[in-house]
Structure 1
Amino acid sequence: MENRKKNIYSLIAILTALIFAFATGKDDGIPTTGMAKSMCQEFIKKSLKSPKSAEFSSITETRIIELEKGPENYTFQVTGYVDAQNSFGAQIRTNYICKIGSSKGTDNWQLIDLKM
């Protein structure tokens, strides 16, 4: 019975470690497409009349292209739409093309171009 408890505890510890390792992911400082999408959304929100009303296209409706890939600089183009209220309170859909860049190992993103 004692051995069985030890085995169960060991199994739980191993599973917990594996879940934690996969959930946290690998952080090698390389900008990802997911980061590019999130940062474009932040830049777009700054240009909206009502940023809190913004609803962005889903990942399946958003196109993300890696234009430049390392070794130090990364550039992405994110294409999608945002539904947001205009100054009259009407919900309007606006298409966007956002070109954004970052460097490996930094959290600094530069908006290169935004067409809405």
Structure 2
Amino acid sequence: MGSSGQFAVVIDDDESVARAISRLLRAAGIAVDTFTSGTVFLDQILSQPAYRPACVILDVSMPHLDGLEVQRRLGGLSLPIIFITAHDVPEARNKALSAGAIGYLRKPFNTQQLIELVRGVMTA
């Protein structure tokens, strides 16, 4: 995707979930890049300063580097983050929101709510 135009990023270790969310957003007219690893996304964003998504949609539970750690490492970049998770753990929810996440949705989530959150960020 790169630096031209606004786009969202979906990071989920489950490729089928990442694809489904990407299709949903694309159908709503939102450009999307997908990653199945927080590590790969961090490598991309830290090595290419021009690569700046308007919004990051991030799974909480991922191997190697969980979503909360990805959020922590992105702290200085002021990127809006929306968490998605299959396991609504109140401690993780509180940690994510107190660290600045703009949303925390439990799978299966309300698709319209996700689209509205992403559009809200892109029009702000």
TM-score (norm. length: structure 2): 0.23
Task: Report the structure, 1 or 2, having the larger helix content.
Answer: 2
Q: In proportion to residue count, which structure has more strand?
A: 1
Answer with 1 or 2: which has the greater Rg: 1
